[in-house]
Amino acid sequence: MTYKPRIGVKDQERYAYMGQVEGELQAAGFHAIAGLDEAGRGPLAGPVVAAACILDPDQPIYGLNDSKKLSPAKREWLAEEIQQKAKAFAIGLASPQRIDEINILEATKEAMTQAVVSLDPSPDMLVLDAVVLKNLQLPQRSLVQGDAQVNCIAAASILAKTTRDKMMVEADQLYPGYGFDRHKGYGTKAHYEAIAQLGLCPLHRLSFLHKLHAGHSCPSADQVKGRTAEDRVAQHLTDQNFQILERNFSLPPFAEVDIIARKGGQLFFVEVKARQDYRDLPAQDQAIAAFHAEKQHKVALVAEYYAASRGWEKSKICLLLAACELNGQGEVEHIRYYEAD
């Protein structure tokens, strides 16, 4: 690879800052500290890929960061550096079929477990990004946004992301027409349009696409717009350091919640409404009107059930409306959030 990024003082300072957790663990007597992270929890298609990585403290890798904050070229360069300098690394994955069978969170944990047990040497401590692997009898530390705080988690995030991206580029050759090499399976407008034209392929996660199964009706234009808006809101929340816990969580006969997210000690239940300006009725006003009291009550019931089933206090629940203003092409131009009464 001819590309080589310019490494500056900020990269070295960030490496030192992100090495503090590993330094504390080394001082406590741990010598094989494995960072874990995944790529591909949110897409409509493709596997979820996990990576585990044990770094060598004698071979610093400057430039490590959350993989989402790096350019593709820098990610690829860092992936090669990690593979050359790390004490050990390993990859695990769960197929779309396995995701449909056991759900995305459990599939992610399964892929992470695969990666851990494949490490040689074996780790004596795991550091994870907001996940705990209860099936492994190893000391663990879980940190929210860990891929931006700990070097070994950042390294794992880079390996997971670059590995999955390569898999999706290869998938584009097997299943042409979907654009997997461009969107990597995420729910872009082009991806939904390809599904509407071509139907589903074996890489699609049926549990993510709900009732959109082979042989059933293709999504309408409004469904495509709605799902695209949900994807934009989910990405915007992620960029604001929210952790997406669920997409389209359904509790019949009450309601389906578009997005369930966490930030700090609070759970956010997000209803997404996508509208275009119509005559004298602005898009934002239409969205607010659509999230009326009856709808709020139903979402609140789902929220209370979800929180109680996971040990969260009712007082930590927040209902949000994400009002998406669409332009003439049906693309999201603005997102405004409103807290329900």
**Which pLDDT belongs to residue 215?**
41
Return all residues near 132 (Cβ < 8 A) that are at least 6 apart: 140, 142
Is pTM beyond 0.75? Reply is no
d(CA 55, CA 300) in angstroms, rounded, equals 45
DSSP 3-state assignment of 253? coil
| Helix ranges restricted to H, 175-292 | 180-183, 189-198, 206-209, 221-239, 283-290
**Which pLDDT belongs to residue 306?**
86
DSSP 3-state assignment of 66? coil
Residue 12: φ, ψ to 5°: -70, -40
DSSP letter for 314, please.
Answer: G
**Which pLDDT belongs to residue 279?**
59
Cβ contact 185:167 at 8 Å: no
DSSP 3-state assignment of 55? coil
DSSP letter for 340, please.
Answer: -
- Give me the DSSP letters along 131-164: ---TTS-S-EEEETTGGGT-HHHHHHHHHHHHHH
Max Cα separation, the chain? 68
Residue 115: φ, ψ to 5°: -65, -45
**Which pLDDT belongs to residue 67?**
92
Residue 201: φ, ψ to 5°: -120, 170
DSSP letter for 1, please.
Answer: -
Q: What is the pLDDT along the chain (341 residues), one digit of tens a residue?
A: 578 888 899 999 999 999 999 999 999 999 999 999 999 998 999 999 999 999 999 999 999 999 988 999 999 999 999 999 999 999 999 999 999 889 888 999 999 999 999 999 999 999 998 889 999 999 999 998 899 999 999 999 999 999 999 999 999 999 999 999 999 998 888 888 888 788 788 899 877 775 444 444 455 566 667 788 898 899 899 988 999 999 988 876 678 899 999 998 899 999 999 888 765 678 788 888 888 888 899 899 889 888 887 888 888 899 999 999 887 666 788 899 999 87
Q: Which helix (H) or strand (E) holds 166?
A: helix 151-174
